């Protein structure tokens, strides 16, 4: 299987969970600290870390460390790439 298909699977895996979709929805309003996401999602720290790793690996979000907290934001580039890949995969004329 090609590298591109593995990368596509990583992107779409990130989008196939309602908790991760909720996290993406929360991040639409701007960067959030992990502490805020823990509160808003009603998840424990380890559960949030699991979901954030999948989202980060997909390229859909960015993470930055500040002190003991990690801050997350949507990745414009990652979002554009995911949209383009879905278009490419489902384009019937190619």
DSSP 35: H
* CATH number assigned to the domain comprising residue 62: 1.10.10.10
Q: Is residue 22 part of a domain?
A: yes
Q: Give the pLDDT mean for 48-52.
A: 97
Q: Give the tens place of pLDDT for each residue, 23-44.
A: 999 999 999 999 999 999 999 9
- Cβ neighbourhood burial of 50 (10 Å; 0-12, 13-18, 19+): middle
Angle, CA of 57, 53 and 28, to the nearest 5°: 85
Question: What is the CA 74 to chain-centroid distance, rounded?
Answer: 7
- Helix and strand numbers (H, E) in the chain are 5, 3
**Token pair recorded at residue 60:** 């859909």
Domain that holds residue 48: 12-81
Q: Is residue 74 part of a domain?
A: yes
DSSP E strand boundaries for the chain: 32-33, 61-66, 69-74
Q: Is a pLDDT exceeding 80 seen at residue 93? A: no
Q: Is residue 91 part of a domain?
A: no
Q: Is residue 73 part of a domain?
A: yes
Give the pLDDT of residue 4. 84
Q: Is residue 94 part of a domain?
A: no
Q: Is residue 26 part of a domain?
A: yes
Q: Is residue 4 part of a domain?
A: no
Give the pLDDT of residue 94. 56
Domain count, the chain: 1
- What are 69's strand-pairing partners? 66
d(CA 70, CA 19): 18
Q: Is residue 88 part of a domain?
A: no
């Amino acid at each position: 299987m090609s590298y591109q298909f593995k990368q596509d699977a990583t992107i779409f895996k990130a989008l196939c969970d309602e908790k991760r979709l909720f996290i993406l929805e929360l991040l639409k309003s701007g960067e959030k600290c992990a502490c805020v996401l823990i509160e808003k999602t009603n998840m424990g720290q380890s559960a949030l870390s699991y979901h954030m790793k999948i989202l980060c690996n997909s390229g859909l979000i960015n993470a930055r460390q500040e002190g003991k907290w990690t801050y997350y934001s949507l990745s414009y580039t990652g979002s554009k790439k995911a949209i383009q890949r879905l278009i490419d995969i489902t384009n019937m004329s190619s």
